[in-house]
Structure 1
């Protein structure tokens, strides 16, 4: 454990210091949008197949003894499937390290499911890997690569890393935010693409995600046996998973990132356009305009332009958007379909949650562990007891547990133990 804690300290310090240095430069020299994200006219039909790669510089990695950065990065365009099984192109990033693997067994690949970055194409994590920050000036939008810590942490321990952009981030179409099936497909097909790029069909796979990424990781864990049974999945960390979306959106309404409710609504309409008139008739003109604005924003833009957004300010009757959705039967069915915990993961999962998390409620994350335990899954649930600080401000109460659990060594240790094939009790909920 001491090894991981010391590695994490170096990683966090290096990445944060480098990000501050890059902030001024990247906004003035943002990479132009190129043709990489435009899918081929005839995309590969097989899920997980690599359609295209593009070498790119890597902003953060721990340098080797000679001062060089011992990793190679490339953008990847690969095939996945929508919820109705339609082939779709998805982008991502593959980081192949030359650092010796510090764990047991062969070198693994960690597939990272990113936390919330936004809904606009400019927010795709793969666009920000070379500089850590991607800036667009018309209109002004700034996106930070939140997964620099996770990719640098695992790369420094000798694991390859694949970070998916999810469906519709960077590539054509709207990002279907918190869509359980589509996020799971993007993660699992990202693992398949990484296996193809790495050249080892039996490479050990670990899945890693927090918040939106925790929900995507959990969804991938429970669909892996059905959707991608050939993967050598060893384990998953699902931090603050969005397992019960209704509970999550009810909690987040009015917080600093309340605008993410708009991301979710926009994504549901993208897949079921018949919802559009039913939602529009409940919104004011300003409410419609806000939803449209949110569809093109990154999370930083949303915080600056719509902080502490309450959806009751967008509706004609002055009631919250979720209350209004209760009058739309098909909306209820859509939310029910997003519920995680009804299928059994085929590999061990660690779930972590902050008891004072003011964004992704603790109770529904803990319930996910109980649901999976009842199905016979191998689960560890760990409570983070960080005291509440500035409720509704998101940063300390939601991201504090991420730093402690994800980068404090516990989640990494869990996956390292799985790569070493150490036994795990059937179910443990603290």
Structure 2
């Protein structure tokens, strides 16, 4: 892949949001993570309980008559439960809009599950809301992080909808590694973010929506499946799951060798964090080059991972030159872990709009559509929306294009559901 193609992809993302005025920690210096993100030794017992909060200055805001536009933000840390059943501290941000809710009744809340940000703590969405574009160094390597989720967040805020966004376990918080695309960790974090936001806002009964694309789409889909058993008190009215990585076995093959090949490293690191018994298996296959890549990727954001690892094949990280797809197929424990991550095996709560680009070959279109079919077979209420854009030689653009083109429709659809307008499933 040519440097021009890689840089074009990075610049496309970077142009979405302006950088905050330069500060010493963002320009050429280390990128620090505030002390807020270090969890306390003891966590509350209740899932969704607030651990700490503080005002969150927004990189992109305007003065208004009664406060800043589009709203007031609060950085939050709350308690959740991870995939092992243990307690985990998760950070995020709650944003109260300046705009009124025009439909009457309690102001609705949307939990925004971010797309891929990276695995370094400096990559978290809550920090990106404060800093906008982060350029600096982390562990003697370039770090580049863009707060692209601000587009969807602000579109919701100007409609008078409150937003809470989660950073997911281990992204931002300094006590563990981010468990990238872990189905249970991300689903729990989304549902507990809703609980935390209700405590902070003081609104105990309100329509709740879920919104996410790519990694976020998988988190939303997982949360919709887990709601009935994990968080029956969080009634989901509707959700948007864009390009969800529902079947990781298929997604691994799509990402391998693409511009976002670094995400394979985040996945492997996350698997070993969630299930330590997998570490010896992975160590048998990983070469010195593979171990070095995983260590470097563990502190990278999506921008620097694209620059460093675009086009890389996982076969260059293994001792015998096997791809990660081949390694997974050869190891029953790995295959079982990947199978357990599959989304589509449980009926989702609420009505869920699933959109995916028909030419998406990064997070393959077919596996997302298969999740929809599985949900329909289980009696789920699903609105499936294929997104047709011109095919590109760049898998990243095939994946990223639908995020931008479908976002206004997705936000409008979700807003109408939260205002009480019904939606008809198109499963038939």
TM above 0.5, yes or no, is yes
Provide the secondary structure at the position in 1 that maps to 2:69: coil
Alignment partner for residue 340 of structure 1, among 340, 343, 349? Answer: 343
- Partners of 1:103 and 1:416 within 8 A in 2: no
Provide the secondary structure at the position in 2 that maps to 1:27: coil
Provide the secondary structure at the position in 2 that maps to 1:116: coil
- Partners of 2:373 and 2:427 within 8 A in 1: no
Change (3 A) 1:150 1:426: closer
Q: Which residue of 2 aligns with 1:416?
A: 415
Q: Which residue of 2 aligns with 1:111?
A: 111
Change (3 A) 1:31 1:388: same
Quote how far apart the aligned CAs of 1:23 are. 6.9
Provide the secondary structure at the position in 1 that maps to 2:18: helix
- Partners of 1:30 and 1:135 within 8 A in 2: no
Change (3 A) 1:361 1:31: closer
In the alignment, the residues of structure 1 paired with residue 199 and residue 298 of structure 2 have an alpha-carbon distance, to the nearest angstrom, of 33
- Partners of 1:110 and 1:205 within 8 A in 2: yes
Q: Which residue of 2 aligns with 1:405?
A: 406
Q: Which residue of 1 aligns with 2:360?
A: 357
Q: How does 1:153-192 map to 2 (within 5 A)?
A: 153-171=155-173, 172-192=175-195
Alignment partner for residue 201 of structure 1, among 196, 199, 204? Answer: 204
In the alignment, the residues of structure 1 paired with residue 348 and residue 110 of structure 2 have an alpha-carbon distance, to the nearest angstrom, of 17
Change (3 A) 1:262 1:371: same
Provide the secondary structure at the position in 1 that maps to 2:356: strand
1:95-119 superposed Cα distances (whole Å, 9 cap, x missing partner): 1112111445421111110000001
- Partners of 1:127 and 1:134 within 8 A in 2: no
| Greater alpha carbon shift after TM alignment, 134-143 vs 204-213 | 134-143
- Partners of 2:133 and 2:144 within 8 A in 1: yes
Q: How does 1:56-95 map to 2 (within 5 A)?
A: 56-61=56-61, 64=64, 68-95=68-95
Q: Which runs of 5+ in 1 are unaligned?
A: 1-14
- Partners of 1:358 and 1:391 within 8 A in 2: no
Q: Which residue of 1 aligns with 2:148?
A: 146
Change (3 A) 1:70 1:117: closer
Change (3 A) 1:390 1:65: farther
In the alignment, the residues of structure 2 paired with residue 98 and residue 414 of structure 1 have an alpha-carbon distance, to the nearest angstrom, of 21
| Greater alpha carbon shift after TM alignment, 128-137 vs 261-270 | 128-137
The alignment's C-alpha RMSD in Å is 2.1
Provide the secondary structure at the position in 1 that maps to 2:363: coil
1:225-281 superposed Cα distances (whole Å, 9 cap, x missing partner): 111111132100000011111101111100000110111111111122221221111
Change (3 A) 1:427 1:369: same
Does residue 1:233 correspond to 2:236, yes or no?
yes
Does residue 1:217 correspond to 2:220, yes or no?
yes
Quote how far apart the aligned CAs of 1:124 are. 1.0
Change (3 A) 1:417 1:269: same
Q: Which runs of 5+ in 2 are unaligned?
A: 1-12
1:385-415 superposed Cα distances (whole Å, 9 cap, x missing partner): 10101233x0x21111111111x3x212221
Provide the secondary structure at the position in 2 that maps to 1:76: strand
Provide the secondary structure at the position in 2 that maps to 1:203: coil
Provide the secondary structure at the position in 1 that maps to 2:370: helix
In the alignment, the residues of structure 2 paired with residue 377 and residue 72 of structure 1 have an alpha-carbon distance, to the nearest angstrom, of 36
In the alignment, the residues of structure 1 paired with residue 37 and residue 19 of structure 2 have an alpha-carbon distance, to the nearest angstrom, of 28
Q: Which residue of 2 aligns with 1:254?
A: 257
In the alignment, the residues of structure 1 paired with residue 347 and residue 81 of structure 2 have an alpha-carbon distance, to the nearest angstrom, of 21
Runs of 4+ aligned structure 1 residues displaced above 6 Å come to 15-18
In the alignment, the residues of structure 2 paired with residue 250 and residue 101 of structure 1 have an alpha-carbon distance, to the nearest angstrom, of 44
